Structure 1
Amino acid sequence: MIQSILPQHVPEILRIKPSITGAEDSYVWLASSSGVYSAKSGYYVATAMEIIDSTANQNYYKAIWRCKTSPKLHLFLWKIAQGALALGENLAKRGLVSNVTCRHCGELETAEHIFLHCHFTSIWSLQIWSSSFSPADCASFSEAFPGSSLLTLLPPWGLTGNIFPWVVWRIWTAKNYLIFENRAWTPLEILTKAVSNAKEWHLAQISTTQPRSSMSLSSNPPLQTTSLGMWVDLHHRTGRAVPPGYCYI
């Protein structure tokens, strides 16, 4: 019966040993000797899984946070890497099965599909970089992003640095404009807006790093001084508060 219904899980099912005393089934936490979950054992399991995962994705995560781009885009790329972006695939995992398909072609909306492989993102076929690299040829987003950081933009765009995060962000905003305002953008418009945003951000970084002229102390009025004895005598005779702009020596 097991072989006919669940042939792919035969070994796992046959390893299950029912209780010889007829006890009811219950959940057991295998990471602890007692079978009871504890925060300590859960932490050790999570740490072990994180070590395995970080070994495979270490370069990918470093590339996200080391990329010279807006902090907003750092967070956006990190959400994509962690599966926290409101894409159709992630919504379906949380039980939200409506509107999980791509608005452009009807396929399941994943990070790889909407940002790399959808026909709407033919933006990658435009002449952007000096090499023949195309993110559309990458199987995963984690492969496309680190690869794009090594490329050089063509001179007509007048920009240095990695344009990939800005294009991905504009693809996402174009999708939202289509959903909420029924406004469609062409691939060329998306690329143009991405380049414009990248230029504005880079120019802002240059202006904030320029040294500022020190403020002259002569612009402030000189403090007026009086002796402590004179002030105490004045206070006792008149009862007035401390005059503004005075200090006592």
Structure 2
Amino acid sequence: MGWFYTRTGRYTVRSGYEIAQRTREDSNPLLFGPDTRGLQAQVWKVQCTQKIQHFLWQSLTGCIVVGDRLRSRGMQIDPQCMRCGMAPETVNHTLFECPPALQVWALSPIPTAPIRFPIGSLFTNMAYLFWELPNDDRMRTYPWLIWYIWKARNDKVLGNVDWDPNDIITKATAESLTWAKAQEKQKTEIPRLQTQVETILSGDRCQVDGAWKETDCRAGLGWYHFNPTTQSKLMGSCNLRRGISHFRLN
């Protein structure tokens, strides 16, 4: 066995990356099954925390630990849902079709309909949440609803703890509102931060730096001075005998 894209015949991460890039740049890539790249790209535009964005991406790519996925990887376990026992525990079943999850969606502000949402397709359910919800602030809670449905599943499987659907909705709503207020606060604070930076940098500027290595017998110092008013620049450097510690350069 050998890797024929390097001279040594051994695989390297760099050569693998180059081959992957060449395949990606192919103008006519071969696609098998539904193309979910649009859904995966939309995940990073969802207005929520990065942790939840990453979990949504894991859900779409089948990377979260559910019974069906573990069984497909060769683990000898019962793939049935441990919460309801009515169907294999797939990602879609856990987040949308399991009776406790259905109760959450039915009681939440997210519009539901028997043949529209939620249904038996994970990609269709996610597409509905991404692009088909009304333009309403209450609709933006769905990432947190998905997150807390997953946390409730874990608490049931690992600790036999049952969550009330209303508690899930309350927690999801509270956290989504807190996150939204934090974004508004950051926007209002940005102009003040810019003003402070401009004030600090309005006078003369002097920058210093040093170089010190334990294995070298010499150490180096350098400085740079700039006057914004006259546009004058002064700079210099110095080479001296290395001290015991780099702290002596300060």
* Pairwise same-fold verdict (TM > 0.5): yes
The secondary structure found in structure 2 opposite 1:66 is: coil
What percent of counterpart residues are identical?
21
1:126 and 2:107 are equivalent in the alignment:
yes
Query: 1:210 aligned to 156, 164, 188, which one?
Result: 188
1:151 and 2:130 are equivalent in the alignment? no
CA distance in 2, matches of 1:72, 1:127: 22
Is 1:91 aligned with 2:73?
no
Structure number with higher strand proportion:
2
Using the alignment, how far apart are the partners of 1:189 and 1:153 within structure 2?
25
Change (3 A) 1:205 1:182: same
Structure 1 residues 18-29: aligned runs within 5 Å: none
Is 1:187–2:165 an aligned residue pair?
A: yes
Q: Secondary structure at the match of 1:62?
A: helix
| TM-score normalised by L of structure 1 | 0.60
Structure-1 separation of matches of 2:180 and 2:21: 42
Aligned residues: 181
Give the AA of the match of 1:64.
Answer: V
Instruction: Indicate the residue corresponding to 1:71 in structure 2.
Output: 50
Q: Over residues 120-153 of structure 1, what are the superposed CA-to-partner deviations in whole Å (9 max), with x where a residue is unaligned?
A: 212222251367585323x311111121233138
Considering fraction of residues, name the structure with more helix. Answer: 1
TM-superposed deviation, 1:67: 1.1
* Structure 2 CA distance for partners of 1:102 and 1:46, relative to 1, 3 Å: farther
- How far, CA to CA, are the matches of 1:105 and 1:215 in structure 2? 57
Superposition RMSD on alpha carbons, in Å? Answer: 3.8
| CA distance in 1 between partners of 2:139 and 2:151 (Å) | 21
Q: Which moved more, 1:106-115 or 1:123-132?
A: 123-132
Query: Aligned partners of 1:172, 1:151: CA distance in 2, in Å?
Result: 21
Residues in 1 aligned to 2:112 and 2:77: alpha-carbon distance in whole angstroms: 40
2:174 corresponds to which residue?
A: 196
Distance in 1, matches of 2:124 and 2:49, equals 21
| Corresponding residue of 1:135 | 117
| Residue correspondence of structure 1 range 221-232 to structure 2 within 5 A | none
- Which residue of 1 is the match for residue 147 of structure 2? 169
Amino acid at match of 1:124: W
Give distance in 1, aligned partners of 2:44 and 2:185: 22
SS of the counterpart of 1:152? coil
- Please list every run of 5 or more consecutive structure 1 residues that lacks an aligned counterpart in the other structure: 1-26, 28-37, 219-249
Whole-angstrom CA distance in 1 between matches of 2:166 and 2:62: 28
Between 186-195 and 53-62, the greater mean CA deviation after superposition: 53-62
The one-character-per-residue Cα deviations of 1:189-241 (angstroms, maximum 9, x if unpaired) are 212211111111111111122135344969xxxxxxxxxxxxxxxxxxxxxxx
Contact residue 80 and residue 111 of structure 1 kept, 8 A: yes
User: Take 1:208 and 1:54, find their aligned partners in 2: how far apart are those partners?
Assistant: 42
Distance 1:54 1:113, change over 3 A: closer
Q: Letter of the aligned partner of 1:126 in structure 2?
A: L
- Which has more radius of gyration? 1
Aligned partners of 1:166 and 1:194 also within 8 Å:
yes
1:115 is matched with which residue: 88, 95, 111? 95
Q: Which runs of 5+ in 2 are unaligned?
A: 2-10, 201-250
CA contact (8 A) 1:63 1:146 kept: no
Query: 1:130, 1:153 within 8 Å by CA — same for their partners in 2?
Result: no
SS of the counterpart of 1:91?
A: helix
